[in-house]
Amino acid sequence: MPTTRTARIPFHYGWMIVIVGSLGIFACIGLARFALGMLLPSMGAELKLSYSQMGTISTTNFIGYLAGILVAASLVRRIGARVLTTLALLLSGGSMIAIGFTQNFYGITGLYILTGFGTALANIPIMGLLSAWFASHLRGKAAGFVVSGNGAAIVFAGLSVPWLNGLSPWSWRLSWLVLGVIVCLIGCLSLLVLRNRPQELGLEPAGALTQTTGQGPHQLSAKRSVPLKLIVHCGVLYAIFGFTFVSYATFIVTAMVRQYGLSQEVAGSFWSWVGFFSLFSGPLFGMLADRFSRPLALMAAFSVQTLAYVLVGLNLGSFALYLSIFCFGIVAWAVPSIMAALSGDYAGADKAVSMFSAITLFFAGGQVAGPYMAGRIAEQTGSFSGSFLLAASLTGIGLLLALVLPKPGGVRQG
């Protein structure tokens, strides 16, 4: 019977999707992407990498991510979110393991493209599942808990990578091997637990029975067409987040080591605090978006991000650095959770993956450009201050764009 599995848990199975989805994000983005910032100092020292080459490694990952976005929606329709997520995590984990055996810059960049490709093919179906499993008034909260997996990964990487690096002569290579194995194991778990839609288990979406059809604060009609102008508007907002967030995440540890004179261990512990604070960012801003509005939540997120980048960009000393880390962490995953909820609100559950894929193309473009430009600026000026101040100016623009973003209930259908 389809209800036998769900009878064993005291809550809606949608929250099992959230739990395993959070682990998937922990793996495909948190470990496969954001652990890089912890690994770059030791990788750079052994391989004698320049700032530009460090930025290029990060950029190649997002080239792979961009390629994955282009085919993600069609693959979800062809094989389903469950199978695609599993295969994507195995690809990312396998390429990470291979990086641990690679001896040169070019081999690492080639493999990291595959890691990014797998990241996109796992991230998009995981976030898209939430529109199928949750009614509109719960999507922000559910997405917030899913993206908090990134924060858990940052805490894990910040504590484990320095320890693993010093555990053997393999240094950073051992870290890549261990992280890659973890990603593969989570891929196997995804196959066991994820389901493409609640109807497979004889269920309705979580919250569907408590929400009056068509009357929720973010609800539109079942059949809708999202204007291209609105997709571009959301995409630009997501691109700004991608550019600025990834620039900071890629280079803040390196800046703490080389610019603030901290040891890698101390810098790693600070990066772990980013992860700890970020655990609250997705749920906090997701619930804010559910309770008030998506545009208001975006404005709040961009405001705090701007402050984080200004504080570290102006070189105001240790206290400003600590405050920057707190501000960055507390809004770290706010924008992705809101964008996932917006995709379901604007496009509906059936087309949410397609809209999320479309705006994630912009996001990927920002991620490609961000670390490369940040690395180039640092190399030319000898400091990361210019890179962080550029990020602050962009998030300031993002705040203004969020101000004029229409509420989902006010969008005209095409």
Contact 64, 114 (CB under 8 A): yes
Position 410 confidence tier, pLDDT thresholds 50, 70, 90: low
Can you point out the beta strands (E) in 338-377? none
Of 49-53, 128-132, 281-285, 410-414, the least confident? 410-414
**220: pLDDT strictly greater than 60:** no
Of 235-249, 299-313, 341-355, the least confident? 341-355
Residue 189 pLDDT? 97
Distance CA 58, CA 128 (A): 25
Position 136 confidence tier, pLDDT thresholds 50, 70, 90: confident
Phi (first) and psi of residue 206, to 5 degrees: -60, 130
Phi (first) and psi of residue 187, to 5 degrees: -60, -40
**Percent over 90 (pLDDT), the chain:** 45
Distance CA 183, CA 378 (A): 32
Rg for the chain, CA atoms, rounded:
20
Position 218 confidence tier, pLDDT thresholds 50, 70, 90: very low
Phi (first) and psi of residue 279, to 5 degrees: -60, -30
**235: pLDDT strictly greater than 50:** yes
Residues 324-365: pLDDT tens digits?
999 999 998 899 989 988 888 888 877 888 899 899 889 888
* Neighbouring-strand partners of residue 206: 134
**Percent over 70 (pLDDT), the chain:** 92
Q: What domains lie within the chain, and their CATH numbers?
A: 11-197+226-404 (1.20.1250.20)
Contact 174, 165 (CB under 8 A): yes
Tokens of 154: 């940052």
Position 158 confidence tier, pLDDT thresholds 50, 70, 90: confident
Residue 88 pLDDT? 97
* Neighbouring-strand partners of residue 134: 206
Predicted structure pTM score: 0.79
Distance CA 12, CA 131 (A): 15
Residues 265-279: pLDDT tens digits?
787 777 778 888 888
Tokens of 329: 């962490």
Position 251 confidence tier, pLDDT thresholds 50, 70, 90: confident
Residue 108 pLDDT? 94
Position 103 confidence tier, pLDDT thresholds 50, 70, 90: confident
Distance CA 371, CA 365 (A): 11
Distance CA 18, CA 12 (A): 11
Distance CA 304, CA 322 (A): 14
**216: pLDDT strictly greater than 70:** no
Distance CA 164, CA 171 (A): 7
Residues 71-93: pLDDT tens digits?
998 999 999 999 999 999 999 99
